[in-house]
């Protein structure tokens, strides 16, 4: 790798938060205490419920031996509160005061939450964290100044709008505390100079790192700041010594100049007494539209897909619609749709047909890999909606044994799983185009992950698509993809264990026929792509491998804190883009 230029800005020490003489470091043993599983619960959002003077005796008493759903309790539009009083006896309170605070440990909770201790906000767990793992444990530092000798009120507001458990504390969740140690009272923060974490030349990649010593003693240690490419090739690692007095803060800026286009993995660590006590990992991008991932389609690539579309056209779809009354309302009639696709395969989907008179634009929403069936939108927005299931998945899923779709039929491009699945994508456009209530000049496609890839496929193979909105797209740039992310390469590794006769070059050659970066060159409609900068399932590198081959009008939206998901800003940009291109008010 070519040599890059780095610069470290002069550090800043901000002192004097804690007055008086410094104390020696407290190295007494860590104490641990557990508490009962009983809480009080109430649905709603009232901010007064954090107050110590509020009387919660009328609230429902619950135990984490059961979930809220087990109690037949529901949240209010996803919101609820828990309250609980814990006791710190004299001896424990004395140690807690000496240590400077406690760490509250709470086992799995479904949702985002904010914790108040005696009316003081002690911590929060954001929506961004829960998308990848909704049920992470909580570990909240509570300074001694927030605590009382004797009774202490914990009040926790949470939100969960999707969990099958109804939100809240999960079965078996245990509350405990440990006395805070030196590392617990170090507050490290990293900020990225560009708000969406995507930098453009000539600006360098720029971050700033800060750490605050909330102990009453001197803390010595050092920062380690490391950078690799997204496929883990080392770029730089620097070690910086740090010494902070009680209450002192340390700040440092770090610039990486003239990087190559691509995405970079940052790891920032603070090491104290030989241990990593604080760590943050994140990705940053630079000039992603200049990422080089050339088309590698074979000479017969176009002929292959032309022939597949001709074979599909010969299959009579035989559309069958079955009304679903319980999912219908004044705005939409819901139908189960069945039809025949390539190989005479029956595929299914859900169609929300507008009940109003007229011709309507339609949104076809393709689904993620292995997603469970779901119904389309039924809140009136001016569109008809269709959610198809490709063969073997969702409404067409037969057994769990068939769930490794990406390696089914890998021996030959004729018969490989995605040959038929991509034809199912086009058959979905056939269906909506056949409907008398649909304006066939206003067809849009969208979807995330596999659904994002299938949106690329639909726009590439079918000119009836007038706008595409893929997010976090899958099925792209396999040679690079398998260097960056552990899955789906692991599925191919398992396949090759059973089929040792197939080497990697054969695998890659076959996958070129189904790589969306090779199909993307045929897209002529406007396209908006959103992606998560922190995604290691469908990494941004592979998203741009396809996006950069699109020659039509296009736009991307980066979600800086998102992993394999996108955020509200991306959803709003997508909505506006689709409505504009399909002429919807």
The answer to whether residue 296 is domain-embedded is no
Name the token pair of 248. Answer: 């002192």
pLDDT given for residue 20 in this prediction: 45
pLDDT given for residue 225 in this prediction: 95
pLDDT given for residue 479 in this prediction: 97
Last residue within a domain, chosen from 267, 290, 313: 290
Q: Both 172 and 202 in a single domain?
A: no
The answer to whether residue 306 is domain-embedded is yes
Q: Both 347 and 255 in a single domain?
A: no
**Secondary element (H or E) of residue 518:** helix 516-519
79 phi, psi to nearest 5 deg: -105, 145
Q: Both 475 and 534 in a single domain?
A: yes
Gap between the Cα atoms of 293 and 517, Å rounded: 8
Range of the domain at 90: 32-180
| CATH code: domain of residue 544 | 3.40.50.1820
Q: Both 415 and 564 in a single domain?
A: yes
Low-confidence winner among 129-133, 448-452, 496-500 (lowest mean pLDDT): 129-133
- Average pLDDT of the segment spanning 286-291: 98
Name the token pair of 490. Answer: 């692991």
pLDDT given for residue 14 in this prediction: 46
pLDDT given for residue 547 in this prediction: 98
pLDDT in tens, 386-406: 999 999 999 999 876 678 999
The answer to whether residue 564 is domain-embedded is yes
Q: Both 275 and 394 in a single domain?
A: no
pLDDT given for residue 162 in this prediction: 58
164 has a pLDDT exceeding 80: no
pLDDT in tens, 478-491: 999 999 999 999 99
Q: Which of 171-175, 182-186, 262-266 has the highest mean pLDDT?
A: 262-266
Q: Both 44 and 85 in a single domain?
A: yes
543 has a pLDDT exceeding 90: yes
The answer to whether residue 27 is domain-embedded is no
Gap between the Cα atoms of 197 and 199, Å rounded: 6
Low-confidence winner among 2-6, 145-149, 468-472 (lowest mean pLDDT): 2-6
Which residues does 14 contact at the CB level (< 8 Å), separation at least 6?
A: 248, 249, 250, 251
Closest CA to 286 of 213, 392, 207, 381: 207
Q: Both 313 and 327 in a single domain?
A: yes
pLDDT given for residue 135 in this prediction: 57
Gap between the Cα atoms of 151 and 263, Å rounded: 50
6 has a pLDDT exceeding 60: no
| CATH code: domain of residue 258 | 2.60.40.2550
- Asked whether 508 and 483 are in contact (CB, 8 A), the reply is no
Low-confidence winner among 126-140, 216-230, 569-583 (lowest mean pLDDT): 126-140
- Asked whether 306 and 266 are in contact (CB, 8 A), the reply is no
The answer to whether residue 321 is domain-embedded is yes
Alpha helices in 417-503 (DSSP H): 417-434, 450-461, 478-484, 489-498
pLDDT given for residue 128 in this prediction: 52
The answer to whether residue 26 is domain-embedded is no
368 has a pLDDT exceeding 80: yes
Domain total in the chain:
3
107 has a pLDDT exceeding 90: no
pLDDT in tens, 192-237: 999 999 999 999 999 999 999 999 899 999 999 999 999 999 999 9
pLDDT given for residue 166 in this prediction: 61
- Residue 176, beta-bridge partner list: 34, 105
| CATH code: domain of residue 44 | 2.60.120.260
10 has a pLDDT exceeding 50: no
The answer to whether residue 295 is domain-embedded is no
Q: Both 136 and 228 in a single domain?
A: no
Low-confidence winner among 129-138, 156-165, 425-434, 500-509 (lowest mean pLDDT): 129-138
The answer to whether residue 170 is domain-embedded is yes
Q: Both 54 and 134 in a single domain?
A: yes
Closest CA to 470 of 404, 583, 549, 416: 549
Gap between the Cα atoms of 85 and 59, Å rounded: 14
Stronger pLDDT, 241 or 130, i.e. the higher one? 241
131 has a pLDDT exceeding 50: no
pLDDT given for residue 138 in this prediction: 86
Last residue within a domain, chosen from 221, 256, 290: 290
Q: Both 532 and 411 in a single domain?
A: yes
Q: CB 280: neighbour CB atoms within 10 A? A: 14
Q: Both 47 and 109 in a single domain?
A: yes
pLDDT in tens, 24-71: 887 788 999 999 999 999 999 999 999 999 999 999 999 999 989 889
Name the token pair of 338. Answer: 């069945």
Q: Both 279 and 306 in a single domain?
A: no
pLDDT given for residue 163 in this prediction: 55
- Chain-wide mean pLDDT for the chain? 92
Last residue within a domain, chosen from 161, 180, 199: 180
């Amino acid at each position: 790798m070519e040599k890059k230029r780095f610069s470290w800005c002069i550090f800043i020490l901000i002192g004097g938060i804690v007055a008086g003489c410094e104390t020696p470091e407290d190295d007494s043993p860590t104490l641990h205490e557990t508490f009962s599983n009983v809480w009080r619960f109430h649905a709603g959002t009232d901010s007064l419920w954090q107050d110590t003077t509020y009387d919660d005796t009328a609230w429902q008493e619950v135990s984490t031996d059961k979930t809220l759903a087990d109690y037949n309790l529901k949240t209010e539009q996803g919101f609820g509160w828990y309250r609980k009083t814990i006791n710190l006896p004299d001896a424990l309170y004395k140690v807690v005061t000496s240590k400077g605070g406690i760490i509250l440990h709470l086992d799995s909770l479904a949702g985002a939450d904010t914790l108040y201790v005696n009316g003081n906000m002690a911590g929060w767990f954001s929506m961004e964290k829960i998308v990848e793992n909704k049920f992470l444990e909580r570990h909240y530092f509570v300074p001694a100044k927030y605590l009382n000798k004797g009774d202490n009120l914990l009040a926790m507001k949470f939100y969960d709008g999707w969990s099958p458990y109804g939100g809240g504390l999960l079965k078996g969740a245990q509350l405990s505390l440990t006395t805070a140690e030196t590392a617990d009272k170090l507050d490290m923060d990293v900020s990225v100079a560009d708000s969406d974490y995507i930098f453009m030349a000539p600006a360098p990649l720029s971050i700033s790192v800060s750490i605050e010593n909330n102990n009453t003693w001197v803390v010595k240690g050092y920062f380690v700041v490391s950078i690799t490419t997204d496929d883990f090739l080392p770029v730089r690692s620097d070690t910086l010594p740090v010494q902070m007095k009680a209450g002192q803060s340390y700040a440092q800026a770090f610039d990486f100049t003239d990087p190559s286009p691509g995405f970079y993995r940052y790891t920032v660590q603070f090491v104290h007494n030989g241990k990593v006590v604080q760590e943050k990992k994140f990705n940053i991008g630079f000039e992603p539209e200049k990422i080089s991932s050339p088309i590698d389609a074979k000479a017969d690539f176009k002929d292959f897909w032309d022939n597949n579309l001709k074979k599909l056209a010969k299959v009579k779809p035989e559309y069958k619609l079955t009304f679903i009354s319980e999912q219908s309302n004044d705005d939409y009639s819901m139908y189960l749709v069945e039809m025949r696709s390539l190989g005479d395969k029956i595929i299914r989907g859900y169609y929300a047909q507008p009940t109003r008179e007229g011709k309507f634009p339609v949104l076809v929403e393709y689904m993620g890999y292995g997603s469970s069936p779901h119904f389309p939108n039924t809140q009136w927005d001016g569109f008809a909606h269709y959610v198809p299931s490709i063969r073997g998945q969702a409404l067409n899923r037969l057994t769990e044994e068939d769930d490794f779709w990406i390696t089914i039929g890998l021996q030959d491009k004729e018969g490989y799983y995605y040959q038929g699945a991509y034809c199912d994508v086009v058959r979905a456009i056939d269906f909506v185009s056949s409907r008398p209530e649909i304006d066939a000049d206003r067809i849009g496609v969208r979807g995330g992950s596999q659904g994002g890839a299938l949106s690329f496929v639909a726009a590439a193979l079918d000119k009836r698509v007038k706008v595409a909105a893929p997010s976090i797209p899958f099925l792209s740039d396999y040679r690079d993809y398998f260097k960056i992310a552990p899955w789906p390469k692991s599925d191919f590794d398992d396949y090759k264990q059973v089929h040792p006769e197939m080497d990697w070059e054969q695998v890659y050659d076959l996958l070129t026929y189904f790589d969306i970066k090779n199909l993307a060159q045929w897209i002529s409609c406007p396209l908006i792509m959103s992606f998560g900068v922190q995604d290691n399932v469908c990494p941004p590198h592979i998203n741009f491998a396809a996006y950069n081959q699109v020659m039509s009008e296009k736009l991307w939206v980066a979600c800086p804190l998102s992993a394999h998901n996108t955020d509200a800003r991306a959803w709003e940009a997508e909505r506006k883009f689709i409505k504009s291109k399909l002429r919807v008010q």
